[in-house]
Amino acid sequence: MDEVTRLSYLQAMGIDVWVPRQSGASAITAADLALASAAVSHPTDAWLDLQQQVAACRQCGLCETRTQTVFGVGNRQADWLLIGEAPGQQEDLQGEPFVGKAGQLLTEMLRAIGLGREQVYIANMLKCRPPHNRDPEALEVAACQDFLKQQIALIQPKLIMAVGRIAAQNLLKTQQPLGKLRGICHDLDGIPLVVIHHPAYLLRSLSEKAKAWEDLQFALGLYKQLV
């Protein structure tokens, strides 16, 4: 798909296109992204075994209502790991996290800081969709917790982005509002973690996109310090 067609498609869907600002922090260069290739390579069978465990999981009641599990997608040696809350309806149907309009916007947000979607890894805390997209329950989060920990251990990311309030609060074990969690370098088991707005929220609250850009710039600046 050429650039003009892609932009027209996004505009038709009502999705703004995120473009890096020349006056801000520079986008990640090819050399920066090449650092991911130095990550330790993990056996394919470890990923396959974990994916099979997730697909067969029946540790909570969500297994009764799901269409399929949503394991995660992306570069398994990525420096950047994005963690969302849980699959929605489209994710449940397609088996991939962050699809639909929110997914398109997330792709544009990543592109704004020089990252292609294929260069990061994207996962959710929950691997099954809660009915009617309700908030995850504590037992459901606990049931999926080990799967996410294993994904983190296999990827060994340099930076984690918690996407949205619920993901951030659960990962950081806090009830603080998202506004107080933004703009801070948190720690998740020794890995720097930053909090960003969920793209679905940004689609409903257009005025918050300026804050989202600040979060992306903060994450990019932190990443450059790490490498």
Confidence of residue 100 (pLDDT cuts 50, 70, 90): confident
Q: What is the CATH number of the domain that holds 197?
A: 3.40.470.10
Residue 23 lies in a domain: no
Say what the pTM is: 0.83
DSSP 107-133: HHHHHHTT--GGGSEEEES-SSPPGGG
Domain with 217, as residue range(s), is 41-226
Q: pLDDT tens across 29-41, in order? A: 444 444 334 334 4
Q: pLDDT tens across 50-64, in order? A: 999 999 999 999 999
pLDDT at 207: 86
Residue 103 lies in a domain: yes
Residue 174 lies in a domain: yes
Residue 127 lies in a domain: yes
Measure the CA–CA gap between 135 and 223, rounded to whole angstroms.
30
Residue 11 lies in a domain: no
Environment class of residue 4 by beta-carbon count within 10 Å: exposed (0-12), middle (13-18) or buried (19+)?
A: exposed
Measure CA 7 to chain center.
Answer: 23
Angle between helices 100-112 and 209-226 (to 10 degrees): 50
Q: State yes or no: pLDDT of 107 exceeds 60.
A: yes
pLDDT at 31: 40
Residue 2 lies in a domain: no
Q: State yes or no: pLDDT of 21 exceeds 60.
A: no
Q: Give me the long-range contacts of 182-186 (CB less than 8 A, separation at least 24).
A: 182/211, 182/214, 182/215, 183/214, 183/215, 183/218, 185/222
Residue 141 lies in a domain: yes
Signed CA dihedral, 201, 187, 218, 126: sign only: negative
Total domain count for the chain? 1
Rounded to an integer, the average pLDDT of 44-50 is 93
Instruction: Give the residues across from 160 on adjacent strands.
Output: 81, 193
